[in-house]
Structure 1
Amino acid sequence: MSPASPPLPTARTDAGAGPLLRAWRERRGVSQLDLALRAGSSARHISFVETGRARPSAEMVLRLAEHLDVPVRERNELFLAAGYAPHYPQTPLDDPAMDTLREGLEHLIRGYEPYPALVVDAVHDVVAANRGVEMLLEGVPDTLLTPPLNVVRLSLHPQGLAPRIRNLRAWRDHLLAQLTRQLALQRSEAVRRLYEEVAAYPVPDGDTEPDPGPDGAGPGGSGGHLPGFALPLRLAHDGRVLSFVSSIATFNTPMDVTVAELAVETFLPADPATAAYLRTRGGGA
């Protein structure tokens, strides 16, 4: 049984920026004195800001948000709450100004072929995918492939990839934990709805493979076929089981909300057999 999704961080712009800043400071486990030292201010001033006795300058809002590692979208909420215009633009991905970025991302994931790679947005909708991903989706019903294609829904839906994931329980736990961490950082009703939807999907009584043990090799310890360096995605495909480990990359110091919420996920073969099969399917050497 899946835990309920965590409550969204509260944000009342009519209450000023103080309560929001205090909530972020407490969430990060930082004292007023520590934050003041980092931001070049005083604990007294931080206290006055949090209680509404002082209105922070726009520069101070930005500085505090940076030191508290507030997500870019939530930084705009802080600016609005403090009475300023949003600091970061939110440019649609299909805007001509994004052409170079979009082409660069598509070139990046094409260059990763024959291995699967895709780009997702803040709610895990697929923005771009390469032929490696398309290959893994063979046999998935068209109803699940209608845009916007959501990678979490596709992975856990009973008619999606879920019946083919050999370690579904472990992979499901991984995806739900990822959504939980995301909800702890941003007020996204879309992500909350996604969590509640996929957490309610039926879970099989047991996987065809056991969950990895402490070293990633199954309950019996080392000697199993699961790689010990990361949780694998074990996926049945074309009469065999392919094994991947995934990595996620984001942009460094983004200055746009849209860009800040993009992520590139790549799937690296976790064993020689998977690598060889993908090279064969992709026409590589």
Structure 2
Amino acid sequence: MTTVAVPSRPVGELLRDWRRRRRLSQLGLSVDTGISTRHLSFVETGRSRPSPELILRLAEHLDVPLAERNTLLLAGGYAPAYSRHDLDDPELAPVRDAARQILHGHGPFPALLVDQHWHLVEANAAVGLLTAGCAAHLLAEPINVLRLSLHPDGMAPRIRNLAQWRAHLLHRLREQVAATDDDALHDLYEELRAYPGGEENPAAVAAAGSVVVPLRYRYGGRDLAFLSTTTVFGTPLDVTVTGLAIEAFYPADRTTGDALRDLTEDPPRT
């Protein structure tokens, strides 16, 4: 079922905000979409009411998230175009099944499914190797995996390259905030950046923009090294699905791979 709050601002103002957020001029957006700058100006100032097709066309070029495209349509006086289902709804059963197959198939290496706000949806058994020793309050639902990673009572004390990993996660989250204009993500970013862990380290901040940032983790007396990838569902038409992502961790070296195979068979106490 789709539920969207009725916006208090007109659609033209909202479209203008998204254009400016994407650092585009009216001329630049006009060239991209084939819509005249005069018409764009009339839409943004409220002198012209855009059709739903025009709203969606502009939203597509501005890379507006699906939930916000529904908001734009409502502001323009139209019905939402994109559904929003709960993950437990029958309509999303194929998505759940596919995600579970990926998570299970990735073992013995850690993999987890998160929503748009980085809440844990599902995880395979190997993720328990990373969360062992974390405080109970961080493992109570809803579990936020970024908070769990960087909180002093979470994984942070066992991350060997905490300054680098912290800078990497904050860099990703900051880009997500800029792309979505999501208040919840903004609040999460402000919370996480207040945690200790190397925010004044210039080298760590520079490394956050590197092609690959490893996670170096201490577990059961062993040093493990991971590389991570993010997988999203292609061309989703549901607001919930568009926010889902699978975070998969791969061994960065043979030693880690061998250790993970051993640990999943007989995990030691920590």
- TM-score interval, normalised by the smaller of the two chains: 0.7 to 0.9
Contact conserved, 1:166 with 1:235, CA < 8 A, in 2? yes
Instruction: Give a deviation string over 1:84-140, Cα, whole Å, max 9, x none.
Output: 122111111111221221111011111111111111001100001111212221222
Q: 1:223 is matched with which residue?
A: none
Q: Does 1:191 align with 2:185?
A: yes
Q: Deviations over 1:239-265 (max 9, x none)?
A: 011111111121222111100111111
State whether residues 117 and 265 of structure 1, in contact with CA within 8 Å, keep that contact through their aligned partners in structure 2. yes
Percent identity reads: 49
**DSSP-derived class of the 2:218 partner:** strand
Kindly indicate whether the alpha-carbon contact (under 8 Å) linking 1:167 and 1:211 is maintained by their aligned counterparts in 2: no
Q: Which residue of 2 aligns with 1:88?
A: 82
2:34 corresponds to which of 29, 40, 56: 40
Pair 1:180-2:162 in alignment: no
Query: How many residue pairs end up in the alignment?
Result: 260
Cα displacement (A) at 1:143: 2.4
Counterpart-to-counterpart distance in 2, 1:82 and 1:239: 59
- Residue 158 of structure 1 is aligned with which of 148, 152, 162? 152
Contact map agreement 2:70 2:82 (CA 8 A) in 1: yes
1:170-213 deviation digits (Å, cap 9, x = unpaired): 11111122221122122333222222222222336999xx9569
Alpha-carbon distance between aligned partners in 1 of 2:82 and 2:239, rounded to the nearest angstrom = 6
The residue number in structure 1 matching 2:63 is 69
Q: Is the 8 Å Cα contact of residues 55 and 72 (structure 2) preserved in structure 1?
A: yes
**1:258 to 2:240 alignment:** yes
**2-structure distance, mates of 1:19, 1:98:** 34
Alignment match of 2:54 (pick from 53, 60, 71): 60
Larger deviation, residues 59-68 vs 82-91:
82-91
Shift of 1:236: 0.5
Task: For residue 141 of structure 1, report the CA deviation from its aligned partner.
Answer: 2.7
- TM-score where L is the length of structure 1: 0.83
Shift in Å, 1:59: 0.5
Q: TM-score, normalised by structure 2?
A: 0.88
Contact residue 120 and residue 143 of structure 2 kept, 8 A: yes
